[in-house]
Amino acid sequence: MYLQIMEQIKQRIAVGDWPAGEEIPSIRQLAVALRVSVITVKRAYLELEREGVIVTQHGKGSRVADGASLSPRLWEEELAQHLGQAARLGALLGLTPDELETRLREAANRFMEDQS
């Protein structure tokens, strides 16, 4: 469940809701707002701190880490994760890397068509 919270926070940062350096809600405030347990939000904040996305100062709360290229990096990480998943599922289905590549190209083309 903390992974979902991390995802949500990263999205808020990526779309600019929470700019770099901005103070973010305390663990308890966010838990109450999202109606999820304090321990889940605490875990999400710890992991985000470990990833360098946020900075927590003891007694002062947390803020978004300074770092200009933060959002592209977040999306990069997410893409890498999804590609890893795709590779795993491809292997389960017995697809060759070439077949996997074809599938990915098809998906990308479909996405472009939907966008236009």
Partner 1 sequence: MKDLAVHFEGVGKKYRHFTLDDIHLELPTGSIMGFIGANGAGKSTTLRILMGLVHQDRGTVNVLGSDMPAQQAAAKRDIGFVSEDMRLYKSATLAWHMGFIRSIYPSWDEAYAASLAKRFDLKPQQKIKGLSHGQRVKAALLLVLARRPRLLVLDEPTTGLDPVARQEILGGLMEVIADERRTVLFSSQNTLDIEQISDLITFIDRGRIVDSDDKETFLERWRRVRLEVPPGVVLPALPGIVGTAGSGRLTVVTTSSYDPATAAAYQSAGATVRAVDTMTLEEIFVANVQSRREGQAA
Contact set with partner 1 (CB under 8 A): 1-2, 28-29, 31-32, 35-40, 43, 92
Q: How far apart are CB 84 and partner 1 at their closest, in Å?
A: 14
CA distances in angstroms from 105 to 87, 99, 101, 109, 110, listed in the order given: 14, 10, 6, 6, 9
Q: Least distance to partner 1 from the beta carbon of 5, Å? A: 11
Please answer whether residues 5 and 36 qualify as being in contact, where contact means their C-beta atoms are separated by less than 8 angstroms. Answer: yes
- From 33, 70, 57, 35, select the one nearest 45 (Cα to Cα): 57
Answer for the pair 49, 56: CB distance below 8 angstroms, yes or no.
Answer: yes
* Closer residue to partner 1, CB minimum distance, 36 or 65: 36
- Closer by beta carbon to partner 1, 14 or else 36: 36
CB closer to partner 1 out of 2 and 18: 2
Min dist. Cβ of residue 75 to partner 1 (A): 24
